[in-house]
Amino acid sequence: MLIGRKSEQQQLKDALQSDKSEFVVVYGRRRVGKTYLVREVLGDSFTFVYTGIKKITNSQQIKIFTRNLEKQGATITKKPTNWFEAFDCLADLVDRSSNARKTIFIDEIPWMDRVKSNFVPALEYFWNSWASARKDIVLIICGSASSWIIKKVFKNKGGLHRRVSQSIHLHPFSLLECEQYADALGLPFNRNQILEGYMVMGGVPMYWSQLSPQKSLAQNINDLFLAQDGALRYEFNDLYASIFDSPENYIKIIDALASKKKGLTRSEIVEVSKLENNGTLSEMIENLIECGFIRKYCHTGKKLRDALYQLVDFYTIFYYQFVKNAYGIDDNYWVKIQVSPTYATWCGLAFERVVLMHSRQLKNALGISGIIANIYSWHIRGTETSEGVQIDMLIDRSDKVINLCEMKYYPLGYKMSKKDAETIMAKIRVLSDNMPKNRAIQLVMITSNGMLPGPNSIPGTIAIEADQLFIP
């Protein structure tokens, strides 16, 4: 059951129907469905398929790779001792195949590149000296370590430079795709529950596939993530360990960012994490961005060095709020905690992230999909004579309008209080004082279940409901 992924499916089909050899790269976050996509589109038409194994020696990897070659039809008289010889054996197997299009699928390829293994030069040589000279090869490589893919393949300055013909960056599902997937799985959830599930799991298909139709969403969350023997109770460590060879320092960065909703500057990350401020830190931060765990953003008028780094992975945020210290819980823990201030705080933060990840759908709901716009967060520190404000989302439009977006998660509908109205008006006032005078500021209230009428409503407000984010 393949939900969505229409353009990605077409890219794979185009590679299969091409009249020349194709080098296809599929990458994205762990559990997002990369392998599933490739196998569903290609069926069993592989000439050779192999999945890299993490944390084994180079010689062990070559030995297992060779064994797979033999199982899939290769006749090997001399066992390869390095990757150049192993790829020669692969070329021999493929050369003798009767398939019209000879498809090679190497999954989790980053795990095959050990220190001093010469794996990448061997792959370069295999493609440039043999595969690319033919017209019938489809080489598909795949991996969860997006940083490796980008560094070793896309930014390769050697034999793989500009050799990729199809690049497929597989992103998590949108709200609509999660709704479609839930329906296909027989999950009896309405849109409120889909939204809450998204706030916990994001659009990671593997997490959604673990949900049981016989249980409520709350029971599923409790049993999968929070119970001591839950199937995904220890997903956090598995997630980061599967992507990074030495995840400890990466987790220190995540620990630091989890402590601050609006994010941290690089210098603040150094201060909180106690990591050295050097090139290694830069590489780790970049890797976390490429893998979709954090984002980097600048507010208007700020220099790049003042950029903030913000945690955006839904599961990771949920882990720090609830899973990390969940011990000895009962079957109704997730239901009971929903009356706590911690739960309310998490809902607000997670809902903001949902809106941020659906900025295209938000622009569509606002009727500005055809207008060039930059979306960013903005804040200014207060002084003795001026107010300070934090604005989580601004849409700065080319038609000289700035949408100041406020996100509110209220399952029973949101009625603006006097305090909220005063806070929002203060934000409009400070923003107006710090923006070009040719910009008009327009308030957008984005709520989970609509706005209720009340005496404190602000005239001219545009109201958007989460339901409007469920569009293609």
Which mean pLDDT values do the consecutive 10-residue runs of the chain (472 residues) have?
92 95 94 94 94 94 97 93 97 94 96 94 96 96 89 89 93 96 96 97 96 96 93 92 88 95 91 94 92 81 71 95 87 88 93 95 94 86 75 92 96 95 94 89 96 94 97 89
Cβ atoms of residues 377 and 297 within 8 Å = yes
pLDDT of residue 316: 96
- Beta pairing class for 389-397 and 401-408: antiparallel
> Alpha-carbon distance 469 to 352, whole Å?
13
pLDDT of residue 302: 54
pLDDT of residue 179: 97
Q: How far is CA 36 from CA 5, 107, 161, in A?
A: 11, 11, 28
DSSP category for residue 171: P
Q: Which of 405, 394, 409, 421 is nearest to 463 (CA)?
A: 405
> Alpha-carbon distance 371 to 363, whole Å?
9
Give the list of residues 6+ apart from residue 362 with CB closer than 8 angstroms, or none. Answer: 355, 395, 405, 446, 464, 469
pLDDT of residue 426: 92
- Beta pairing class for 373-380 and 389-397: antiparallel
> Alpha-carbon distance 292 to 288, whole Å?
6
Cβ atoms of residues 258 and 316 within 8 Å = yes
Q: Which two tokens stand for residue 54?
A: 């993490």
Q: Which two tokens stand for residue 53?
A: 């194994």
pLDDT of residue 301: 52
pLDDT of residue 266: 93
* Angle formed by the axes of helices 119-126 and 83-95, nearest 10°: 30
Q: Which of 115, 123, 188, 185 is nearest to 153 (CA)?
A: 123
Q: Which of 139, 125, 177, 145 is nearest to 6 (CA)?
A: 177
pLDDT of residue 376: 83
Q: Which two tokens stand for residue 140?
A: 């598909």
> Alpha-carbon distance 105 to 38, whole Å?
9
pLDDT of residue 310: 92
pLDDT of residue 21: 96
